Amino acid sequence: MSRSNRREAGRRRLAMRLPKIRKLIMEARDPWQLELFEAYQIAVEAREALRGQSSHAHQVREYDETCSEIEQDLIRTMSEPSRGQISSG
């Protein structure tokens, strides 16, 4: 998957996971946010590749935590008035 495809897949996945800020996610153009979308997709892909393998349960939990941290970062930054205005403009 190309970098831009990975970013857009991450964006769509996050928009589904975070409906309260879905509009801001879909309008985001800030390079930092685009990097988070890509990182989220990479973490999800890695987690899914390891899921179901008992020998990798710890790594799956780590990827779950990473995904959760990215979600929380987006909620926090996109909820800030100045960040929301920058990302949607």
Rounded mean pLDDT of the chain? 89
What was the pLDDT predicted at 82?
A: 58
- The residues, any chain, with a CB within 8 Å of residue 73's CB and separated by 6 or more, are 36
Q: Which of 22, 9, 16 is nearest to 79 (CA)?
A: 22
Mean pLDDT of 11-35: 96
Task: Grade residue 54 by pLDDT with cuts at 50, 70 and 90.
Answer: confident
